Amino acid sequence: MTPGTLSFGKTIAPALRSFARSLAEWAFRLPLFYKVLIANTFLVAIGAVIGTTLSFRAGHELSGEDYHRWHYAYILLFAVGGTALSALIYSVLLRWALRPLEQLQNASEALRQGHMDVRVPIDPFSDRQMQQLVETFNQMVETIVSNNERLHWLSQRILQAQEEERARIARELHDEAAQWLTSLLIRQRLLIRALPPEMRPEIEEIQHMTAAALEHLRRIAMELRPAILDDLGLVEALRWQAEEFQKQTGLPVTLQIQGRIERLSREIELALYRVGQEALTNIARHARATRVEIHLNCGGDHLELTISDDGIGFDPEAVRKSRPRSLGLIGMAERLSLVGGILEIESAPGKGTRVRARVPAGSQCVSREVVHVWTTQDPHFDRG
């Protein structure tokens, strides 16, 4: 081999490799329609060439009598073999060409299940339309994540402002309106002593009405912002809540505390208290129950509050689709999500309802085989 031939080979080989690489990249970047069209045309052409060649060779190698005897078998063999080979090659090509669509489908399913960290990688060899589709999907996911973060922040601020307003109104009711009614009640008592006996019954009736209004005002203030929750914690607040529920509805309530529960963060205690308050309110309004059970269970690193009733139940999916009726459920779930908790609702028509709230508790919750049970029908509560 001459030096000129070697020099020419060294010059042309890189150019051929570069041309082949550019041609392959161009083929990879073709739109999906042209990829499928080219693959289909290629397979049809290859099948025609192979079938014609084999038929021609079979016709020449076999005698006339043998050819007429076996030509149907050859036709069947060529048809089955060509179809199987075409299907195999075509499936490989289509799977490769449609791989980005499969990735988009899997990512969409993951997104539907709530996995917001899903993204579709961009294939450098996919066509421009497919790249734009993948980029649009990823941008859509980023927008959804950003909007969810904003809604989460806004919900937190709204609930915080709501609790602050509740506390302000409760404080004004307790410090001003309740004091006025208390002063009025004292003056009525003094007035009764100074009046003749025949006039005392009317003033005593007014005194009873004033005392009832004062008690009602104090109960409203406690529901708005229970001081017992801030002073004594979640367990005592739930016990008071059960007592008030029994007084208003007449339904017996069983409260069970399992484990040793210390003071939790203000946010977690308030979230669980509001969940219990909303659940008991729904029971009083809609459940038609005959008994209610409240369970506060410590599971080591988490705390679980469960409110159950034996009422008429409901269809949770139907309630979620009804916007006015689902606001309470949405509010409970949103409160728990702000403290890292989750809400589960188990119910069916005629089978009662169970509302379960689960929040992280850390070291403030010690799981032990210690159970305290108290019912509103018992005069005493075993505090343990």
- For the chain, give every domain's residue range: 11-97, 233-379
* Contact between 359 and 336 (Cβ < 8 Å): yes
Higher pLDDT, 263 or 5: 263
The predicted structure's pLDDT at residue 377: 63
Q: What's the CA gap between 206 and 185, in Å, rounded?
A: 9
Radius of gyration of the chain, Cα coordinates, nearest whole angstrom: 39
pLDDT, tens digit (0-9, with 9 covering 90-100), for 312-355: 988 888 777 765 656 677 788 888 888 889 999 999 888 899 99
Coil/strand/helix, residue 300: coil
Tokens of 29: 């970047």
Tokens of 314: 């409901």
Q: Is the pTM of this model over 0.75?
A: no
Which of 109-113, 285-289, 380-384 bottoms out in mean pLDDT, i.e. has the lowest? 380-384
Q: For 118-124, which contacts have Cβ atoms below 8 Å and span 24 or more sequence positions?
A: 123/99
Q: What's the CA gap between 282 and 366, in Å, rounded?
A: 31
The predicted structure's pLDDT at residue 294: 93
Summarize the confidence of residues 54-64 as an average pLDDT. 60
DSSP 18-56: HHHHHHHHHHHTS-HHHHHHHHHHHHHHHHHHHHHHHHH
What pLDDT band is residue 382 in, cutting at 50, 70 and 90? very low
* Contact between 200 and 217 (Cβ < 8 Å): no
Summarize the confidence of residues 118-135 as an average pLDDT. 77
Q: How many helices (H) and strands (E) does the chain have?
A: 12, 6
Q: What's the CA gap between 9 and 16, in Å, rounded?
A: 10
DSSP 200-250: HHHHHHHHHHHHHHHHHHHHHHHHHS-HHHHHH-HHHHHHHHHHHHHHHH-
What pLDDT band is residue 219 in, cutting at 50, 70 and 90? confident
Tokens 């799981």 belong to residue? 367
Tokens 């210690």 belong to residue? 370
What pLDDT band is residue 229 in, cutting at 50, 70 and 90? confident
What pLDDT band is residue 307 in, cutting at 50, 70 and 90? very high
The predicted structure's pLDDT at residue 68: 59
Higher pLDDT, 112 or 383: 112
Phi, psi of 53 (to 5 degrees): -65, -45
Q: CA torsion 248→254→258→261, rounded to 10°?
A: 10
Summarize the confidence of residues 218-241 as an average pLDDT. 84
The predicted structure's pLDDT at residue 383: 43
Q: What's the CA gap between 359 and 346, in Å, rounded?
A: 18
On average, the pLDDT of the chain sits at: 78
User: Chain-centre distance of CA 241, in angstroms?
Assistant: 28
Domain 233-379 coded CATH 3.30.565.10: yes
Name every residue whose Cβ is closer than 8 Å to that of residue 44 and which is 6 or more positions away in sequence: none
Tokens of 268: 């977690």
- Among residues 329, 340, 331, 259, the alpha carbon closest in space to that of 295 is found at 259
* Contact between 111 and 99 (Cβ < 8 Å): no
Ranges 65-74, 171-180, 315-324, most confident:
171-180
The predicted structure's pLDDT at residue 216: 83
Phi, psi of 382 (to 5 degrees): -75, 105
* Contact between 11 and 65 (Cβ < 8 Å): no
Q: What's the CA gap between 54 and 260, in Å, rounded?
A: 85
